Amino acid sequence: MKKDYKYAISVCAGSKCVHLNNELIDIILKEIQRQGLEDQVKVTKSACLGYCEEGPLLVIHPDNITYARVQKDDIAEILSEHIKNRRWVTRLLFHRDQIANSFFPQFGDVDFFGKQYRITLRNCGVIDPESIDDYLAYRGYEALAKVLTVFSPQQVIDEIKRSGLRGRGGGGFPTGVKWQSGHDAVGDVKYMICNADEGDPGAFMDRSAIEGDPNTVIEGMIIGGYAVGASKGIVYIRAEYPLAIKRLQIAIAQARERNLLGNNILGSEFSFDIDLRLGAGAFVCGEETALIASIEGKRGMPKPRPPFPTEKGLFDKPTVINNVETWANIPVIILDGAEHFASMGTEKSKGTKVFALAGAVRNTGLVEVQMGTTLREIIFDIGGGIRDDKAFKAVQTGGPSGGCLPSQYLDTPIDYNSLMAAGSIMGSGGMIVMDETTCMVDIAKFFLDFTQNESCGKCTPCREGTKRMLEILIRITEGAGQPDDIDKLLRLGTMIQKSSLCGLGKASPNPVLSTIKHFRHEYEAHIFDKKCPTKTCKSLLTYTILEDKCIGCGLCKKNCPVKCISGEKKYSHSINQADCIHCGVCFSTCKFEAIIRE
């Protein structure tokens, strides 16, 4: 029997904090017993609230009061003060605004949450992701019921078309149009696939969305299956996401029990079921034809399109592939109507987009904003600006397929077209903020090293071209750059963009081309002056001991791995530059600021 609790304490249990917070939950449960509050307080695990910076987070419902950085010792006080005495524990409330020194007791009061607009993440952190009852209580599966009773498949497709929803995996293809061609294709079996092979370094939107609200994704897929006429769904998810996998399995099992999956769903003529497939670690499998090859049990190599998967996809049958976030939007569009969804965002990009905000920004975490929000609003209002009062340098969107945008683009409203025009892409939603200490040549090398490693090797431009580009970047960062290297990179990059087979190859030069476009002077400093302006590239740094500051303690000499520092105790030391490997150990061990790095 369900108890009528007065309060619910929800503890953030995303995979980042889950190990930590399980212990916290045990302590809360014990303390509830100790204080005799069992009949009043329910404890739930919520998904990642997205504000990881301030975790562990605890939200007390229905008061909607959020406590941050909660430690074990705080639990007794929270229970006795908040629940018994009805007083807030002010010292644990959000306390971010240091100038006004004001408190932000309620969830939406904090800029981090208040400036967001959560549609796909609407239930994340609110419901218990392991309980279908919780989801049902928040209008879960209502959209499915509406579709099965009121809509014809074509009406569903028309509704999605009218909403203007575009694929959230990065490509931005209109979802309704994709469904239409899947619907129109002839086939005895049709497949719906959810692409949860989130491989971009610096992206965790899909993981958090599934961990927080797996049922929304499932409901979206069932609705899609009904519209297209598919009977089988597959979620292709990274094996690196164990918690998301577990929660999907629970959600699928619970949906089967309630006849939301399986034969004759909710008494209708429509039958649909979902299986999980675990990715085996290949970035290229995020590309839809490679993903299909992987499910078929082959090496994950892309195929030329056409034929598109909607005509000839998995096992040569019509297949519709959408990204996690796209699926999560479907129930909302059906429930609130296409017009409502289309009222949000910009002319060509409707609705919202989830971003994984990370890097040199104060508030890292998951944010969902309306399309058309500017980069500045995300980084400075929601993200709280740059950490350690450093200066903003660039923001990287779109992961290894995207580009770095400097400060003059901060007021760019976010949509598919504007980011493309600025030289980056929307991508799946990774957003890495960089401050003045990040070397742009080094970051371009980092991304190219990644794509080069992940190139499947099928087509020559990507396989060989990215390797040559990487070699040039490595020699630039090691001080061996040649005068025509920038031109070579531009020529190779343009060639790879034009001639590669799949999206991974075509986009692989973007990080290099965008950094050359916006930070050409940094490349030139590396090549011509043999200097790294941010002092990042080790080979280009020289270390010198200042004679008047060195007291001859011998610490640097002792720690030098190649023993290239000489000097008598209590006398000034010196570095033999010929043997120095530029590791910087002497610089970081010196306690007297007697070593300069330039």
Partner 1 sequence: MTPQWNDLASELLQRFGDETRYAIPILQAIQTEQGYIPIPLLEAIASKAQHLQANQLYGVATFYSQFTFTPKGKHTIKVCMGTACFVKGAQQIVDAFKSALSIEIGETTPDKLFTLQTVACLGCCSLAPAVMIDGHVHGQVTQESVAALLKAKGFNL
Q: Is 430 in the site for partner 1 (CB under 8 A)?
A: yes
Q: Which of 57, 443, 540, 541 binds partner 1 (CB under 8 A)?
A: 443
The stretch near partner 1 (CB under 8 A) out of 124-132, 345-353, 446-454, 589-597 is 446-454
> What H or E segment, with its residue span, contains residue 557?
helix 555-559
Q: Which of 428, 438, 508, 514 binds partner 1 (CB under 8 A)?
A: 438
Residues 359/434, Cβ–Cβ less than 8 Å: yes
CB of 213 to partner 1, least distance (A): 16
60/284 with CB nearer partner 1:
284
253: which residues sit within 8 A by CB, 6+ positions away? Answer: none
> Inter-axis angle of helices 485-499 and 510-528, to 10 degrees?
170
> What H or E segment, with its residue span, contains residue 546?
none
Q: Which of 129, 351, 365, 481 binds partner 1 (CB under 8 A)?
A: 365
Handedness of CA 403, 406, 407, 409 (dihedral sign): negative
20/546 with CB nearer partner 1:
20
d(CA 209, CA 186): 33
Q: Is 359 in the site for partner 1 (CB under 8 A)?
A: yes
d(CA 157, CA 185): 14
Q: Is 109 in the site for partner 1 (CB under 8 A)?
A: no
d(CA 234, CA 297): 14
The stretch near partner 1 (CB under 8 A) out of 98-106, 192-200, 474-482, 522-530 is 192-200
- CB 376: neighbour CB atoms within 10 A? 16
Per DSSP, what are the bridge partners of residue 352?
A: 370
Looking up tokens 């080069």 gives 452
Strand 543-545 vs strand 41-46: parallel, antiparallel, or unpaired? unpaired
In whole angstroms, how far apart are CA 538 and each of 526, 530, 534?
A: 12, 11, 11
372/503 with CB nearer partner 1:
503
Q: Which of 108, 201, 304, 307 binds partner 1 (CB under 8 A)?
A: 201
**Interface with partner 1: number of residues (CB under 8 A):** 50
Q: Is 296 in the site for partner 1 (CB under 8 A)?
A: yes
Q: Indicate left, alpha or beta for 198 from its phi (over 0: left) and psi (-120 to 50: alpha).
A: beta
Residues 488/495, Cβ–Cβ less than 8 Å: no
Contacts with partner 1, 455-484, as mask; x by CB under 8 A: -x----------------------------
The runs of H, that is alpha helices, within 300-396 are 324-336, 338-342, 375-376
Q: Is 240 in the site for partner 1 (CB under 8 A)?
A: yes
Q: Which of 267, 297, 306, 483 binds partner 1 (CB under 8 A)?
A: 297
Q: Which of 41, 110, 185, 282 binds partner 1 (CB under 8 A)?
A: 282
CB of 450 to partner 1, least distance (A): 6
Site for partner 1 in 546-585 (CB under 8 A): none
224: three-class secondary structure by DSSP: helix
Q: Which of 108, 242, 304, 307 binds partner 1 (CB under 8 A)?
A: 242
The stretch near partner 1 (CB under 8 A) out of 126-134, 279-287, 495-503, 521-529 is 279-287
Q: Which of 280, 335, 391, 581 binds partner 1 (CB under 8 A)?
A: 280
Q: Is 169 in the site for partner 1 (CB under 8 A)?
A: no
CB of 367 to partner 1, least distance (A): 11
CB of 217 to partner 1, least distance (A): 16
Contacts with partner 1, 370-399, as mask; x by CB under 8 A: --------------------------x--x
Site for partner 1 in 20-59 (CB under 8 A): 52-53
The runs of H, that is alpha helices, within 186-278 are 205-212, 214-228, 242-257
Residues 384/409, Cβ–Cβ less than 8 Å: no
Cis peptide before 306 (omega within 30 of 0): yes
Q: Which of 360, 502, 516, 560 binds partner 1 (CB under 8 A)?
A: 360
CB of 224 to partner 1, least distance (A): 22
Q: Which of 175, 180, 323, 364 binds partner 1 (CB under 8 A)?
A: 364
Q: Is 294 in the site for partner 1 (CB under 8 A)?
A: yes
Percent helix / strand / coil, the chain, rounded to 5:
45, 15, 40
Strand 352-359 vs strand 430-435: parallel, antiparallel, or unpaired? parallel
CB of 162 to partner 1, least distance (A): 34
360/594 with CB nearer partner 1:
360
Side by side, the strands of the sheet bearing 232-238 are 273-279, 232-238, 191-196, 319-323
Per CB under 8 A, residues contacting partner 1 are: 15-16, 19, 52-53, 198-204, 207, 239-242, 277-278, 280-283, 294-300, 315, 356-360, 364-365, 396, 399, 430, 432, 434, 438, 443, 446-447, 450, 454, 456
